[in-house]
Amino acid sequence: MLAPHCHDRQSFISGVTELDEYLHRFAVQQSKKGIVVVRVLIDTDMPKTILGYYSLSAAQIDAVQMDERTQHKLPRYPVPCFRLGRLATHSAHRNCGLGRLLMGCAVERCLT
């Protein structure tokens, strides 16, 4: 979980301005307000350093948004689900499989 005083958010650089700015400026606020859950991946040898992060929020899907075949399988009321809002890895750790690891953690968290 994102801990504002334990993690160095400002040094995180993914290379995507919007993802960096979100972590630097908005992630803590939205977490405190209960809008999202933000999870960070850290290096245990350097726990202040964020290697990557993802954000999850509650959402719902209305069956009418689906194709006809899928609509028959779903109830007529909105179905609750999770939305993966953001997922980013530090640019210094590209092509190391961290994105895949973060995605797996996000799916596991949703299933739990």
Residue 22, judged by CB atoms within 10 A of its CB (0-12, 13-18, 19+), counts as buried
pLDDT attached to residue 102 = 97
CA-closest candidate to residue 88, choices 5, 32, 12: 12
Provide the domain limits for residue 85.
9-111
In this structure, the strands spanning 79-89 and 46-61 are: antiparallel
pLDDT attached to residue 1 = 67
- If one counts the domains in the chain, the total is 1
pLDDT attached to residue 3 = 66
Residue 106 within any structural domain of the chain: yes
What is the share, in percent, of the chain residues with pLDDT greater than 90?
A: 72
pLDDT attached to residue 66 = 84
The CATH number assigned to the domain holding 54 equals: 3.40.630.30
Residue 3 within any structural domain of the chain: no
Res. 50: pLDDT tops 90: yes
Res. 109: pLDDT tops 80: yes
pLDDT attached to residue 65 = 82
Residue 2 within any structural domain of the chain: no
Tell me the pLDDT band of 79, cut-offs 50, 70 and 90. Answer: confident
Residue 38 within any structural domain of the chain: yes
